[in-house]
Amino acid sequence: MLPITSVTTSRTKEAIHSPEALLRWSLVIVFLWFGGMKFTGYEAQGIAPFIENSPFMSWLIDAFGVRGASGVIGVMELSTAAMLAVGAFHRGVSVLGAAMSCATYAITLTFFVTTPGVAEPTAGGFPAISAPIGQFLLKDLVLLAASASLLRTALARWGTARS
């Protein structure tokens, strides 16, 4: 059995210097920032049209109101940030955090087809996308790819550790 200092040192180095560390910690920052903003009136009003038009999330507004729905999403995003951060040091939690991140961006990408105003009519409609809505949502494609990359690595490490 290895001494605790040896295990801690190797896991800390892995959490900071592994190939996916930049993706992980970038996603942690994104989730902390976006999640924290969900508790402001400005952000709650800003995301309301996305939630209202979503078949997956519109029930949140019915159940909690706009500010409450935004708060629920904020709690989920902050929880995802925590799981991603802890996952840097724990393989099982890494899988959970990466899966939560994937789920978040998969859901937000559905807004691309459910939210009015994504296509820009003055530019000929789809595939031309509007700046405030379409381009805002399109960035989630890259965040989903980063999350999927983390999930793939986390699953591989978790499987190796269980063997």
pLDDT for 31-51, tens place per residue? Answer: 999 999 999 999 999 999 999
Does 11 reside within a domain?
no
Does 97 reside within a domain?
yes
pTM of the model: 0.86
pLDDT at residue 11, as a whole number: 55
Does 31 reside within a domain?
yes
Does 145 reside within a domain?
yes
Measure the CA–CA gap between 2 and 48, rounded to whole angstroms: 51
Domain around 60? 21-162
Measure the CA–CA gap between 109 and 95, rounded to whole angstroms: 21
Does 82 reside within a domain?
yes
pLDDT tens for 129-144 read 888 888 888 999 999 9
Does 4 reside within a domain?
no
pLDDT at residue 7, as a whole number: 45
pLDDT at residue 15, as a whole number: 56
Does 9 reside within a domain?
no
Does 56 reside within a domain?
yes
pLDDT at residue 17, as a whole number: 58
As for how many domains the chain has, the answer is 1
Instruction: List the chain residues with pLDDT less than 70.
Output: 1-17, 163
